Amino acid sequence: MAIQDIYPTALRLLGRPVLVVGGGPVAARRAKGLLNAGARVTVVAPVASAALLELADAGLLTWVQRTYQPSDVDAVWFVQTATGDAAVDAQVSADAEAQRIWCVNASDHEASAAWTPAVAVVDNVHIAVNAGGDPRRAMALRDAVATALETGDLPLRRRRASTDAGSVALVGGGPGDSGLITVRGRRLLGQADVVVADRLGPRELLKELAPDVRVIEVGKTPGHHPVPQSEINLILVDEALQGHRVVRLKGGDPYVLGRGGEEAEFCRQHGVEVEVVSGVTSAISVPAAAGIPVTHRGLAKGFSVVTGHEELAEVPARADHTVILLMGVGQLRSSAASLAQAGLPEDTPVGIVENGYLPNQRVTIGTLASIADQAEATGVANPAVIVIGDVVRVSPFAPSHFKTSDYSTITPNRPRTPLSSARVLTT
């Protein structure tokens, strides 16, 4: 068996006296770390840095303004040297060794009885990395592990039962591609005990959950709501009150036509802590997947998001005001007729993006007069986002006769290469 002279452990220094010898920046950093651990810190140094003076003036540590004396190590549990003078640090280390007190010698890591690792804390998980006395290597590794935990690439979920109260996180998962969830949302998903999942959103991430994470399906389709909203609200509260970390994983953004406000309010009314994590809303991101901006200089300065046919009467019937229809495939013909009747020109470009960002994404582009026939002929189906307005001209999928000399702030009518990842149907 290979013998290593390092035994990784963690010291619990709450209320215990410790000694820092030195008054410079390194001593200040070490003193702050020891204070964070709850230790009673004494600093011995003839001169102290501004950072140490601030801590001393606040009464957080004791500064003894003189040079080191051997008696300073008496009755302490831990010693940190950081004088910058190798001879002084060696003397402190030797005195601590004689009294069997663990000491970190900042001047000579090879001769040091203990090493201070590079440390990070993520959700009460302490990451401590020693790298053979190479502090920069240790810090780089620490940062990489911390980032992986923060982003959910490494498991951060509790394995032992916790006495903490449960909680609910309403997480917007974006339009469906697992790479479009936010870092915060991905991290919370990795910590979840229970996931209450919609039909849309990053479904692939559910496959990465630990086997004992419960997934409760509450997905809806147009006209079919097997789990009514009132029951979803009760599920969230009930699971949280059992002490579970609950993630309500939604498509898009929970506060954009996602009924997240209702769920958050219900949780608060029942004393459940709730967090809302914004997501990439499909109303903006799915058109972008087809190269369609919802606003564009010279074409459109504003946009409206509409989910119901009756709402169309309230939006400007102008090609320079983008109209985005969500869940609008079933009423597309009547919606187009309503907009035309309100004065929107029948040659206004219309784009439909199905399954945005997914491998089966499909883009259909036509006009207000033709789009309903095209959609029926090709079997356009939800999930789909419909974009109506001159901004559709900017799409690389738009036919050449849609492009005009005023739609771009760069070279007008510049040739564009269609994206190979999507099927395109145009007039």
Active site residues: 198, 220
What is the b/e burial string over 255-282, where b = at least 16 CB atoms within 10 angstroms of the residue's CB? bbbbebeebbebbeeeebebebbbbbbb
Preceding omega of 383 cis (within 30 degrees of 0): yes
Measured in whole angstroms, the distance separating CA 5 from the mean position of its chain's CA atoms is 39
The Cα–Cα gap between 287 and 281 comes to 10
- The residue count of the chain comes to 427
